[in-house]
């Protein structure tokens, strides 16, 4: 059903379903706000671990046994992996119930799908090599998306204070009645480019927004226009029910998250800190890149990403004398570069398992609730909570299970780009490679740089090369030079870890449980919560100063994505899209009536 945004009254929905009261029964939840005080640090990582393995399609080669003596029932709480009760709005229960009835209607579903489809049809691609806003015309397409959003959500643009940042960043300010810290909801407008050579492989065109009755097709359906549109639909819905928040709600949309985030979230972060102050927000929820895992028998694992790995691209460049290739030296620049690369790859970073780290918490959760976790490691994990010998054995055993688990425990390195040489009979005077690093939670940019220096010093020494690393001369030589630098100047430290326990963490987790427990799509699911270390980066890397409570979460299971993200046939299950709207509605209402400072 197409949306006629030019109709009198505007908006994406017809007047009647929104303006007329809906007679509904307000359920009395079995357990409301009865949140037990406990540290929920461990559980999210467990989901992170399992989710990472499934997302990467890496098989868990666990040797399962028929007996699971240490396995906990999903309804059993654990000191190593604490859980929170489902959390339902109380003061706002009537509004929540009214909107639940509206969201369940076929008319609402079709109109919500049509709105997302309209956003998908605008190809807001961001590229790694784009110039600044105002200089590069590649950004102009975002103006089309802005016009579309204004037409589709006239009530939002009328009632909220809308601010444009660096031309295409958008901030919506919904003023609350109290001085309580605001909640910040983030998403991004841009999508990764579609490779023109793959268009023929799409079942439906990548910018069609086609709905086939089950799936919404197109680039951005999963990452991240669904999150963006869900946020605006929820605000529009609440406005039409006459809701005024007690706690201010701020929504921020960057526009280059798929590149560096510097043009969008980077500028937005500065504005928000200047406006609301350092640590001025109660909590932040941005996109989540790890879907909820379905463990079968109505049991789901919901992973809340509470931290992100750091990021560093190291350029290793070798220069040496050129000349005719008929009289070559023992090693050309390319040969010397290959020795440097070999040294890097044969000296990977050591995995660590620290008790205060997210990976350790993830292991504890897996050991408590994952049926296929090997019994010997399950016992070892429990002992490792207090036994150093068990911790050391566990640290050695886990990386051997899969590269994905190792990636959670160590800084990773991947030589992704290499170049050198201009002619077959000319000695190359230079050759270079770029090594991509994802820095472990326990490490730092400085530690990574020192590791590279330590690895490359012997190469430089054995071949009489100068080693210049990050602006410092570490060794001099007469035969050439190895230079190591920050390739793009985009180094990012590992993120702070969000506190886990009573407060924002428990509210978010309780809201997830409430949403899925009352969901027809997920069949009244039993949900286990757990913390997660995100291996990639989101716009939240620019928002660290705004709040200590940063979460990366989107409500969707792996089966709700047709073919994942950043690839052909990106598509989102329409029913999951509606579940995301339900979740965000409950989250805003729950946070609004919470005592968060």
Which residues, including other chains, have CB under 8 Å from residue 513's CB and lie 6 or more apart?
Answer: 84, 85, 86, 87, 302, 527, 529
The Cα–Cα gap between 480 and 333 comes to 8
The Cα–Cα gap between 366 and 371 comes to 8
Which residues, including other chains, have CB under 8 Å from residue 399's CB and lie 6 or more apart?
Answer: 351, 405, 406, 409, 410
Helix axes 375-384, 388-397, angle to 10 degrees: 140
**Does the annotation count 257 as an active-site position?**
yes
324 annotated as a binding-site residue: no
Which 3-state string (H, E, C) describes 526-573? Answer: EEEEEEEEECCCCHHHHCCCCCCCEEECCCCEHHHECCCCCCCCCEEE
The Cα–Cα gap between 596 and 282 comes to 7
The Cα–Cα gap between 534 and 288 comes to 9
The Cα–Cα gap between 229 and 287 comes to 12
125 annotated as a binding-site residue: no
SS3 for 246?
coil
195 annotated as a binding-site residue: no
Given 96, 236, 257, 308, which residue is catalytic?
Answer: 257
The Cα–Cα gap between 423 and 427 comes to 8
DSSP class of 302 = E
Given 85, 190, 256, 317, which residue is catalytic?
Answer: 190
Which residues, including other chains, have CB under 8 Å from residue 195's CB and lie 6 or more apart?
Answer: none
128 annotated as a binding-site residue: no
SS3 for 112?
helix
Write out the two tokens for 503: 């407060």
The Cα–Cα gap between 47 and 363 comes to 9
3-state helix, strand, coil in the chain (%, to 5): 35, 20, 45
Write out the two tokens for 271: 């504005």
127 annotated as a binding-site residue: no
Question: Do β-strands 283-286 and 183-188 pair in parallel, antiparallel, or remain unpaired?
Answer: parallel
Q: Which of 585, 578, 512 is nearest to 216 (CA)?
A: 578
The Cα–Cα gap between 58 and 290 comes to 14
Write out the two tokens for 93: 């229960």
Catalytic positions are 190, 257
Q: What residues form the annotated binding site?
A: 188, 223, 258, 286, 566
Q: What residues form the annotated binding site for Zn(2+)?
A: 188, 223, 258, 286, 566
């Amino acid at each position: 059903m197409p949306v006629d945004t030019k109709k009198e009254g505007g908006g994406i929905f017809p007047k009647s379903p929104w303006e007329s009261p809906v007679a509904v029964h307000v359920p009395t939840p079995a357990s409301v706000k009865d949140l037990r005080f406990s540290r929920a640090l461990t559980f999210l990582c467990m989901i992170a671990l399992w989710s990472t393995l499934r997302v990467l399609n890496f098989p868990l080669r666990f040797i399962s046994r028929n007996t699971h003596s240490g396995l906990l029932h999903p309804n059993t709480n654990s000191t190593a992996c604490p859980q929170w009760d489902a959390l339902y709005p109380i003061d706002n229960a009537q509004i929540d119930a009214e909107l639940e009835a509206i969201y369940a209607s076929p008319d609402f579903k079709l109109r919500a799908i049509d709105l997302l489809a309209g956003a998908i049809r605008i190809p807001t691609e961001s590229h790694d090599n784009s110039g600044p806003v105002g200089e590069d015309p590649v950004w102009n397409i975002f103006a089309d998306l802005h016009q579309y959003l204004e037409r589709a959500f006239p009530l939002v643009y009328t009632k909220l204070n809308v601010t444009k940042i660096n031309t295409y960043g958008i901030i919506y300010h919904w003023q609350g009645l109290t001085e309580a810290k605001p909640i910040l909801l983030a998403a991004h407008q841009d999508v990764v480019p579609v490779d023109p050579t793959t268009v023929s492989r799409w079942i439906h065109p990548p910018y069609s927004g086609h709905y086939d009755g089950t799936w919404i097709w197109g680039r951005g359906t999963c990452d991240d226009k669904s999150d963006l549109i869900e946020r605006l639909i929820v605000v529009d819905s609440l406005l039409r029910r006459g809701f005024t928040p007690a706690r201010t709600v701020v929504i921020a949309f960057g526009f280059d998250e798929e590149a560096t985030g510097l043009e969008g979230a980077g500028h937005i972060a500065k504005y928000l800190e200047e406006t609301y102050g350092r640590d001025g927000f109660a909590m932040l929820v941005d996109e989540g890149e790890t879907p909820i895992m379905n463990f079968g028998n109505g049991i789901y694992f919901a992973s809340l990403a509470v931290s992100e790995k750091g990021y560093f691209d190291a350029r290793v460049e070798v220069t040496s004398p050129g000349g005719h290739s008929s009289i070559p030296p023992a090693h050309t620049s390319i040969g010397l570069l290959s020795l440097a690369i070999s040294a890097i790859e044969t000296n990977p970073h050591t995995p660590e398992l620290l008790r205060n780290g997210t990976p350790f918490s993830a292991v504890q959760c897996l050991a408590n609730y994952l049926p296929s976790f090997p019994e010997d490691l399950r016992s070892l994990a429990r002992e490792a909570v207090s036994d150093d010998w068990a911790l050391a054995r566990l640290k050695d055993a886990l990386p051997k299970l899969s590269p994905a688990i190792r990636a959670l425990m160590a800084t990773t390195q991947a030589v992704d780009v290499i170049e050198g040489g201009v002619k077959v009979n000319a000695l190359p005077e230079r050759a270079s490679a770029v090594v991509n690093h994802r820095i472990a939670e326990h490490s730092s940019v400085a530690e990574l740089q020192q590791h590279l220096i330590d690895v490359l010093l012997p190469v430089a020494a054995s071949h009489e090369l100068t080693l210049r690393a990050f602006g410092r001369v570490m060794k001099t030589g007469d035969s050439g030079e190895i230079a190591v630098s920050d390739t793009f100047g985009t180094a990012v430290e590992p993120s702070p870890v969000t506190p886990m326990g009573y407060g924002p963490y428990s509210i978010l987790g309780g809201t997830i449980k409430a949403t899925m427990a009352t969901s027809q799509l997920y069949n009244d699911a039993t949900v286990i919560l757990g913390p997660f270390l995100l291996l990639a980066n989101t716009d939240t890397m620019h928002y660290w100063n705004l709040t200590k409570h940063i979460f990366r979460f989107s409500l969707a299971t792996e089966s709700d994505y047709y073919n994942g993200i950043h690839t052909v046939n990106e598509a989102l299950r329409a029913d999951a899209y509606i579940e995301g709207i339900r979740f965000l509605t409950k989250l805003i209402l729950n946070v609004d009536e919470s005592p968060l400072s």
